[in-house]
Structure 1
């Protein structure tokens, strides 16, 4: 084989190896990140209401380039204590929820369009908890909750409320802070 042929093979081998290493590093980096979204939300004080993570003006936030028109709140969940109930009253502002695993993967998202009579109740649970809830359901009075099976016991919910004008930013924050995140007593029994 000629010198030029060896050079081409070595160059192509190096490019393939570099591409493979790049892909592995990009896919593995979330597993080794110490400042992940879950790590930041997990240390939030446990409260019955969602906590704002994007204050106006982007001050004291860890979000990259926060949108000033969107109030973002979050609450962690741990399903080992029982199902988690996320409840909100809808209003004129767009309200959306996204459920994330502890590694950051989104496993469910819903907007206020799923609300019934101005209220949205989401119950996050494990497969076993769902089976128990179904066994205890009354056929004459079916549950109006949106029941979601989480792939992991730990994770977090991100609540976003969009303010179409800057003057409605305070109202959007109040709507986000009004979302409750509690252990579901009804499903736990």
Structure 2
């Protein structure tokens, strides 16, 4: 009987200690969400190619056949225009809001001519753009995003080492620019 009582007391104390450790460590985890890590990599409205060094390693999914670039943006002033083209076997784009909820995704298979041409805008901005669509956006995919801040993740596949230069070129030349609706 004494062994059972001892086991129960040790179990309750162990559970209490474990809960205390979890509660005290939560602030360390909550201050490093994906959006904040993307913002910390570099300036907004610019794609940054990730590598395993620095904080980029924490954002990578560990797939050795994928190369990734990220771009943080803020739609409060202007929409953002995402563009990329190049000879890669596959690419995909995912757009997330600041809470890391996926807003939009596509790949080269669903794009116009295999090139990336996406305009991300707030609802009011998008309504103004649709009223007088600029010629440069005639082939663009228009994405409405209610949340003001977010980030885009552009990935490309490197199935063999010989595709590495093309992937680096594709990601480094990708554009994530603020788009001036007024002119």
TM-score by structure 1 length? 0.72
After TM superposition, the structure 1 = structure 2 runs for residues 120-139 of structure 1, keeping only pairs within 5 Å, are: 120-137=116-133
Q: Which stretch of the first structure deviates more once superposed, 86-95 or 68-77?
A: 86-95
For 2:65, the equivalent position in structure 1 comes to 69
TM-aligned CA distance change 1:100 to 1:65, over 3 Å = closer
Structure 1 residue 86, shift from structure 2 partner:
0.2
Structure 1 residue 96, shift from structure 2 partner:
0.6
For 2:176, the equivalent position in structure 1 comes to 181
For 1:168, the equivalent position in structure 2 comes to 163
Distance 1:146 1:103 in 2: 23
Structure 1 residue 62, shift from structure 2 partner:
1.5
TM-aligned CA distance change 1:96 to 1:188, over 3 Å = farther
> Which aligned segments of 4 or more residues in structure 1 are displaced greater than 3 angstroms?
none
Contact preservation (8 Å) 2:73, 2:150: yes
Distance 2:35 2:80 in 1: 17
Structure 1 residue runs without a partner (length 5+)? 1-28
TM-aligned CA distance change 1:65 to 1:47, over 3 Å = closer
For 1:85, the equivalent position in structure 2 comes to 81
TM-aligned CA distance change 1:39 to 1:47, over 3 Å = closer
Structure 1 residue 137, shift from structure 2 partner:
2.7
For 2:115, the equivalent position in structure 1 comes to 119
TM-aligned CA distance change 1:34 to 1:142, over 3 Å = closer
Q: What are the superposed Cα offsets for residues 101-123 of structure 1, whole Å, 9 maximum, x if unpaired?
A: 10111111011123334532100
Contact preservation (8 Å) 2:87, 2:166: no
TM-aligned CA distance change 1:41 to 1:188, over 3 Å = farther
After TM superposition, the structure 1 = structure 2 runs for residues 39-50 of structure 1, keeping only pairs within 5 Å, are: 39-46=36-43, 49-50=46-47
Specify which of 35, 48, 53 is matched with residue 51 of structure 1: 48
Instruction: Work out the number of aligned pairs and report it.
Output: 156
